[in-house]
Structures are given as C-alpha cells and as structure tokens.
Amino acid sequence: MPYEVDFTGFLSNTVAPRWLERLRLQLIEEQFADQGLFDRQQLSVIARSEIDYLRPIRMGTKLLGRAWIERCMRSSWTIYFTFHEGETETLCMRALQIGAFINPETLNPARVPPAILARVAQATN
C-alpha cells in the first residue's frame, strides 16, 4: 500500500513489525482459537523480534507471508516468518519472534498452556 513505503518507494522499516503481528494473530486464531489466548488470564506477549531484510521491497510488490511455531518451551514459544515475492518465490524478508506467556496480575512468566504444548508437539512430530 502507498502508506507502507517511505519517500524512496521502498517498504518502510516500520511496516514489518505490523505484518509480523498480523500473521502472529492470524496463526493464533486459526490454530488455537479454542484455547482462549486472547483472554485476560493468558497473556501472550512479544519478548523479542528479529527481522532480516534480505531484498528491497518496492511498492506494488506482492508478497506471500508465512508463519509457523518452531519451538515451544515452558513459558515461551518461537514463531518464524518468511515473506516471499509472489511471482518468483524469492525470499525477501525473514523474521522470528519469541513470545512469552505472563500472569496478568503479577506480570511474571507463566507456563504455556498444556493443550498448546501438546498441539505444537503433535504438529512437529
């Protein structure tokens, strides 16, 4: 979109984190809708994000974004993202996010819900 590029016509660095968040929320909605991850009792927050801009992305480039859970630990999970150019499948950007579950009252780390651990383990085996 025009508002996602900077004055040079390339993707603004402020856009990629929003795309990661949209994909992360879509992943949660599609795979864990029954787990109440948007409930106040189970807060999933982003503890760390890394983005590698591998190729310049110009306005009008159609990208295909993918997200998957790579690892699930006691109180965190790692989600990987890739963005490929639609026509050539060229990898343009990759990223990872480490998310943590926290207790909403104490703000201390909380365990990943057992049902999510089991579902991720089943999907990765």
**Least confident among 3-17, 21-35, 85-99, 108-122:** 3-17
Please give the pLDDT value at position 79.
Answer: 93
- Which of the following CATH numbers is that of domain 2-124: 3.10.129.10, 3.30.70.20, 3.90.930.12, 3.90.1150.10? 3.10.129.10
**Sequence-ordered list of residues with C-beta below 8 angstroms from that of 92, at least 6 positions apart, any chain:** 53, 54, 55, 57, 61, 63, 83, 84, 85
What is the arithmetic mean of pLDDT over 64-72?
A: 91
- Domain map (residue ranges) of the chain: 2-124
- The pTM for the full model equals 0.82
Per-residue model confidence as pLDDT tens digits over 1-42: 656 766 676 777 788 899 999 998 898 888 777 666 555 566
Per-residue model confidence as pLDDT tens digits over 48-64: 999 999 988 887 788 89
Please give the pLDDT value at position 36.
Answer: 60
**Least confident among 4-8, 34-38, 76-80, 120-124:** 34-38
User: CA-to-CA distance for 88 and 59, rounded, in angstroms?
Assistant: 16
